Each structure stands twice: as C-alpha cells, then as structure tokens.
Amino acid sequence: MTKALITGITGQDGAYLSQLLLEHGYEVFGVIRRSASSDIIGERLRWLGVLDHINLVDGNLTDLSSLIRILQDVNPDEIYNLGAQSFVKSSWNQPLLTGVVTGLGVSNMLEAMRFCCPHARFYQASSSEMFGLIQEPMQTERTPFYPRSPYAVAKLYAHWMTVNYRESFGMHCSNGILFNHESPLRGIEFVTRRVTDGAARIKLGLATKLQLGNLDAKRDWGHARDYVRAMWLMLQQEKPSDYVVATGRTVSVRDMCRIAFAHVGLDMNDFVTVDASLMRPAEVDVLLGDSSKAKEKLGWEPTISLEEMIAEMVEADLARHRSRLK
C-alpha cells in the first residue's frame, strides 16, 4: 500500500486530496499542529467522510525535529506539502510568521526528507500569487515572477527551494503553481466564501448587506477537487517538474458576486458595498493561467465550471445556515 503524508491536511485542499488518495488505495497520514481548537480541526475531513480513514500525527513545519520523527516513523512514498499561512491579507499583518511557516517550513520538510526518505516524491503547493504584477497576459511556467505580498514572497522562496533540492540532490520534487481554487470547504475569510456565504445569509434574511474590498480584481478560479487531482498526477510522473494549474478563464470579484446572487434570485447591486479597509496594500489586479503543459504532460483538464462551483458553494452555505435556524 502506497503511503502519503500531507501537511495542511485539515485545510480545503488537504481534505479533498485525502479523499482522492483513499479512493486510489493509499494509506494517508496527515500532519496536524496541536492548538486550543483541536476539537474542530478535522471538520473538513469529517464533512467529506474521510476523517476516520486517515492517520493524524502531531508535528509542525517550523519544528525540524518533529518532521524528522514523522518521516522516520511513516516512511512515506509521497509527500504533499500544503501547509502554510495561506491568507494573503493576513500576511501583511504577520509577515515574519508567514515567512517562517510558508517559506522556511518548506526548507525544513525538504531537509528532513533528504536525510530520512530521499526516495519519496515531493509536491510543493506553489501559488499564482507569485506572478503578482503580471509580466505576461497569460502566465505559464516560464513567466517571470513579481510577488506583491509577504505571502507571495514566502511562496516564491519555497518554490525555488523545491527546484534547488531537485537539481542539487536529484530528488523527485515538483511544484504545482496553482491558480485560485475554491469549494464549499474554503475558509470563510477568503473572498469566494465571503461572497457565497453573504448571498446565502441575505437570501435567508440573516443579513442585509455584504462588504467586500476590490470588486474589480480578476482571478482564474477553479474547483479544488479538480486541482488536487493535478497534484496527484504530478507525483505519478517519471520525472519531476513544475506545472501551472488553471482554467484559462478570468473573471472579476464583481462578476462572481453577480453569479452567486443570481443563483438565489437576487441582484448583487442591491446588497454589495465596498469597504476600503478590506483593500490590499498592494493589489494583484489580474491573474490568468495557461495550463497547456499540464494538459499535455499530465492529461489534466478542469471538469467543473465556475458557475457550477459557485452554485455548489451557495447551496452548501444555504444548507449550513438553514440547519442552524432549526
């Protein structure tokens, strides 16, 4: 049985990836850091019905000794590093923490892997935010990076460290440069869930308005379920490499609002307002990915449309709020 170790297993991507790997017959281990909220950390895994089928182990990306212990005990065949301080806006308020966890944490994992299980295959969750102030209309694996947040800078460090370990030590290390991907499991602090949750709350009479930041920011949005499939495919290749994973379609936050509110029969213009405090200090105006390499080499293509994804998210938020009203 193939063993996989996932950091960030309690997040959106970690939960969907766990489900996918279990379907492929893997034994799945997940690194969790203990906290005061440990009683609810497995909610996403529980929502997908996989919590009882995975093995959770205590560790932290900032603690090299814990990673060495975990790798010695588990001896995984595949390592998926999804753990990070991943909320972009918070990275300006916590730049050092973001750098330590999102950046240096990857070095810790790679170093532990080099000494404990160099045979394993490693996936690093890189981000389209690294492109930042875009240098090309469509971003590919060859597009120059221009990060515009502490989060993106930390991700860029992690990205190049992954490349460096691949080239320096011959390790099977791949980067997935994933563009925005969402689902009903996305955290409420992210704009997509703010939109779908806001539309649901307003529809049910639980709120009267939705405050957002930059409505004109454009992103290439896909579904997390599609994107974790791309992660898995990368580690099934004979040779490691880096891949852009995107839909090739970009829409604004404003358009996403229109789709979400229209799904519940409302006009977003009657409810959505702009709150300047939610603006980023340095904005990424537009991102649009070209995943031709992933299509050619991995046979990967997205299967869930933006409209289908938003509808699923709105319906999930409606169900959540209705259950609380009973």
Strands (E), the chain: 3-7, 27-32, 55-58, 78-81, 121-127, 172-178, 181-182, 210-212, 218-219, 222-223, 242-245, 251-252, 272-274
CA 51 to chain centre: 19
| pLDDT value of position 39 | 59
Three-state SS across the chain? CCEEEEECCCCHHHHHHHHHHHHCCCEEEEEECCCCCCCCCCHHHHHCCCHHHCEEEECCCCCHHHHHHHHHHHCCCEEEECCCCCCCCHHHHCHHHHHHHHHHHHHHHHHHHHHHCCCCEEEEEEEHHHCCCCCCCCECCCCCCCCCCHHHHHHHHHHHHHHHHHHHHCCEEEEEEECCEECCCCCCCCHHHHHHHHHHHHHCCCCCCEEECCCCCEECCEEHHHHHHHHHHHCCCCCCCEEEECCCCCEEHHHHHHHHHHHCCCCHHHCEEECHHHCCCCCCCECCECCHHHHHHHCCCCCCCHHHHHHHHHHHHHHHHHHHHC
Other Cβ atoms closer than 10 A to 270: 10
In a domain, 295, yes or no: no
Do 104 and 156 reside in the same domain of the chain?
A: yes
Full-model pTM: 0.95
Residues 125 and 168 in one domain: yes
Q: Which domain holds residue 255?
A: 187-219+249-287+304-325
CA 314 to CA 320: how far, in whole Å? 10
Q: Work out the number of other CB atoms within 10 angstroms of the CB of residue 25.
A: 8
Q: Which stretches of the chain score pLDDT less than 50?
A: 36
Residues 209 and 239 in one domain: no
* 57 within some domain: yes
Distances (CA, A) of 107 to 64, 79, 94, 253: 9, 13, 19, 34
Cα 317 to the chain's mean position, in Å? 20
Looking at the structure, tell me whether residues 112 and 199 fall in a common domain. Answer: no
What's the domain count of the chain? 2
Whether 29 is covered by a domain: the verdict is yes
Please give the span between the terminal C-alpha atoms of the chain, in angstroms, as a whole number: 44
- Say if residue 144 is in the same domain as residue 201: no
Residue 294 is assigned to a structural domain of this protein: no
- Alpha carbons within 13 A on the beta-carbon side of 92: 11
Model pLDDT, residue 253:
96
What is residue 7's three-state secondary structure?
A: strand
In contact, 293 and 237? CB cutoff 8 Å: no
Give pLDDT, residue 277.
87
232 and 264 together in one domain: no
**What is the CATH number for 103?**
3.40.50.720
Residues 50-101: tens digit of each pLDDT: 999 999 999 999 999 999 999 999 999 999 999 988 767 788 888 899 999 9
